[in-house]
Structure 1
Amino acid sequence: MAVVIEHMDSLVDKKPFYTYEFKGVSERTALGDELNLIIRNKQSAPPVVKFSLKRDSLYHILPEYLFHPLDHYLGTDGDTEEFEKRYKEQEEQKEKALTYFKPFDQYYQNLRIKYQHWLNEHIFSGNQFLSDFITAGQRVDIANSYIKAVYQCIPWLRNFRGNDDMVKAALGYAFEGHAEIQKTKVEVTEALSENIHSNLNGTLDDLYCGSTIITRVYVWKVFYQVKIKTGKHLSELKQQIEEFSTFFSQWFLSVEDKLEITFGDRCAFPELSDARIEEGVFLNYSTQLI
């Protein structure tokens, strides 16, 4: 256990100068307070912080023997008056320690809050950090809105790639819940290769000589309900969804699975119009039966 504390009221170039170092874990911290902190606020080096705290003061984190003898209550069995006296002394010492550590506790708490804000903004937001690390060098186009929506799910792949629930959840993120998702088993007829190994030996037993073979694969069928605004919008949707389908199949699906995505607006009303004719479109029809 090493404790080095410089008073916080010292100044260097009109700025507070802090140097305190806490290392180690004691029995007092075994219930959850683990502290490994190095802070040196100097002109030449920024603070380096590593900590895991669940208590609100250094007094509750540092070993108790720094403030009270471990045998502080030794010999007080049955002596209520002596016990209360020593308890009062301990509480007084505790208040002195809390008062002394208060500025450090406040400064440390501010550091912890700032650090947590930084983590939330740069690391934990959308799992961007982990996803960037995993996909480094893979040319993942997060400008594609559908790919970007599932980008945060990439850390799941370590344990759950190909898992049905994970695939459904990721597709739900991609299409913001506006998709019908089904997994079906289909039969695929494939042509057998005409290339035969020239070194066959041993007993062939039953030899299949057909020209095709039927295999069974699982297909994820997705219908994406989306309002199509213009012809340009339609082209952009088609391109982005094709890119997403390729990306999702490579990263999220099992090797044996396939992905089919269709899209359109089932809620749209049919419209007949011609912008070049102000009067609208006229339909000529006859009720004559032929």
Structure 2
Amino acid sequence: MNTLALAAFTTAAEENSFSLAAEKLHLTQPGISKRIVSLEDQLGCRLFDRIGRRIQLTEAGKTFLPHAYKMLQDAQSGLNAVRNLSHTIDGFLSIATTQHIGLHHLAQPVKRYIIEYEEVAFNLDFLTSKQAYADVLQGKLELAVITEPTQMDEQLRFIPLWTEKLKFVCAKDHHLASLNSISLKDLSSVQGILPDASSFTRRVIDDIFEQANLSIIPRAASNYLEAIKMLVTAGLGWSVLPDSLIDDNLKILDLDNSPLKRQIGCLIHQDRTESNAASAFIKLLQSYD
């Protein structure tokens, strides 16, 4: 099957729009439509329902979508395998990371990579760890730098890079800050400001409470650790934050339990041939403490 038609189909499915897909792929809308129609003719079924200006996947489209991603991934793997024979580091590298990891861990490595490997067209997106995980699994991304998943599909591999210590914190004027000693039970009766329930970091936090047969009372949730820090500093509740975000406006709560930590690393698909560009990026990241 034509990879250009497959790319048009998957992009339209992601954007729920032919016009947005055309813009993303730098094509005209008739060009996108023509590629998708040719794919529908080849499959003998409609992949999208056209409702006014809106589109949505048909059942056939939903069934075909993961196979389309797999075919695109296989095609890219073949291209990588041939390019790798030359041992040159060029081509295109698309990665994703979270906002926190990007700002606090990747600024210098990415700068160095772009300077050293000018022939690589480098693209970086900020996503949640959960979305980045899904995009690597589907073959949309070659790699992601994220928090280690608590559970992982056997098709994926996680390469550890850095360990980040996590601390329980509250505002200095919060009533928890005045307690001489504090326990998980104390925290379970006070509202917390926490990462989104679907995030890998939240699962680390939930696990430690579940092991103590306790639950958390969430007051608010956010995918952005910087936003959580702001709300905690305002005195709205306790939270768990990485060392790198803790400043003099926050009080660290010392609990009698094993210290929390999370592993940050590269997530890759084991069935995908790793490009020279990706290998060089991973090697560079491993050189940073």
Answer whether TM exceeds 0.5 for this pair. Answer: no
User: Greater share of helix residues, 1 or 2?
Assistant: 2
Which structure has the higher relative contact order (CA within 8 Å, separation 6+)? 2
TM range, smaller chain: under 0.3
TM-score (norm 1): 0.20
TM-score (norm 2): 0.20
User: Greater share of strand residues, 1 or 2?
Assistant: 2
- Which has more radius of gyration? 1
